[in-house]
Amino acid sequence: MIDPVLLREQPELVTRSQEARGHSAESVSDAVAAEQERRVALTAFEELRAEQNAFGKQVAKAPKEDKPTLVAQAKELAAKVKDAQQAANEAEQAYRDAMAKIENVVIDGVPAGGEENFVTLREVGAPRTFDPAEFPDGPLDHLALGEKLGALDMERGAKVSGARFYFLKGIGARLEIALMNYALSVALDNGFTPMITPTIVRPEVMAGTGFLGEHSDEIYHLEEDDMYLVGTSEVALAGYHADEIVDLSNGPLRYAGWSTCYRREAGSHGKDTRGIIRVHQFNKLEMFAYTAPDDAEAEHERLLALEEQMLTSLGLAYRVIDVAAGDLGSSAARKFDTEAWVPTQGAYRELTSTSNCTTFQARRLDVRHRPEEGGRTQHVATLNGTLATTRWIVAILENGQRPDGSVVVPEPLRPFLGGLEVMEPIA
């Protein structure tokens, strides 16, 4: 949730953020009113409880003949205290419900609007072009290439599990493992602790990260167990230090979570149904950082730089966009997407993203740090960013293809493939 002090002292800032996201300002006024009602109810309860405590001492000291009357009065007062406590609890829940409808306050400079209102920050590298003399029918897409290489089998994936499932096999399986291991080596070189995380989490952890909002239909729910399959290891890593006071005296805590991820893609019917751009299951290496709030924006730039380092090293042309407020998840205060050029689509497509969630998730999960020895604790900021995922194979295959259907292996991946320089077609 957002900082209650911010809502109390700068409601207009919260209102602007909600409006930039495309939401009604009514949620802010409702939360302000709910907080006021909560304060009134809590004050009434505390005053009655104090009166009850004082009256209890009076009863204890009263003469024996006065006690029956005083005890009766004490019972009436106890009933009032009980009713006031219930009213305070209801007001507290109403306040929490109202606060839950307010998404994280966007950072100054984030463009307003929806998905199409992003701002391009930079384009890096030249998109690959294909000589018609060498490619008379144009380049092959990643699915056709994957089939020629014996790397990808969508047909049997659908037979076994349904639409948008697939098998990576042979060089396809090796390529993904190489990509993930390369990303892990980059993470290790930059001070991240590697983690293999749970892929099933409790509801309070999923809710704490902000994924059970308006896009909850994208998440697989195991109803019998009331557990959730994660769509990113961010969820497990955010819950890793829940209800803890972490030590940031030596700088941010940085983790690199390797996990299988699951997404229902409920709202994407008809979009990217060919190949492995938009699928229900994939692997991902996710960076996650806990840091002091004042350092969060610098850490965000650091995560973005690592994502760009990966793309550049693999020889992929890409662009970085500042995602518009209305296209942010509820937890993100700012998000940068890095999109690689996909030749057969003639467009940049998202490969990675990195989000600054400020203290929004940490407040829900109660992750704190102590800025000064002996001082009061404060909530940390959390950030996440993708360092590699299955979707990268799309860009690697399409941009590395040769006229005979073979694909050049990017140099950084060759050590993880036994020195292999070219993936050759088998069909």
In whole angstroms, give the CA distance from residue 178 to residue 414.
Answer: 8
Residue whose C-alpha is closest to residue 410's, from 168, 420, 123, 138: 420
C-beta separation of 51 from 77 below 8 A: yes
Which residues make beta-bridge pairs with 286? 257, 386
Catalytic residue among 330, 368, 391, 398: 391
Catalytic residue among 49, 128, 264, 278: 278
Query: Is 350 an active-site residue?
Result: yes
Catalytic residue among 92, 123, 218, 350: 350
Query: Is 254 an active-site residue?
Result: no
Q: What burial class does residue 270 get, using C-beta atoms within 10 Å of its C-beta: 0-12 exposed, 13-18 middle, 19+ buried? A: exposed
C-beta separation of 357 from 332 below 8 A: yes
Residue type for position 89? N
Query: Is 122 an active-site residue?
Result: no
In whole angstroms, give the CA distance from residue 235 to residue 201.
Answer: 8
In whole angstroms, give the CA distance from residue 359 to residue 3.
Answer: 8
Catalytic residue among 27, 233, 331, 353: 353
C-beta separation of 319 from 339 below 8 A: yes
In whole angstroms, give the CA distance from residue 180 to residue 308.
Answer: 16
In whole angstroms, give the CA distance from residue 296 to residue 331.
Answer: 14
Residue whose C-alpha is closest to residue 295's, from 378, 374, 358, 368: 358
Catalytic residue among 263, 302, 319, 363: 263
Enzyme catalytic residues:
263, 278, 350, 353, 391
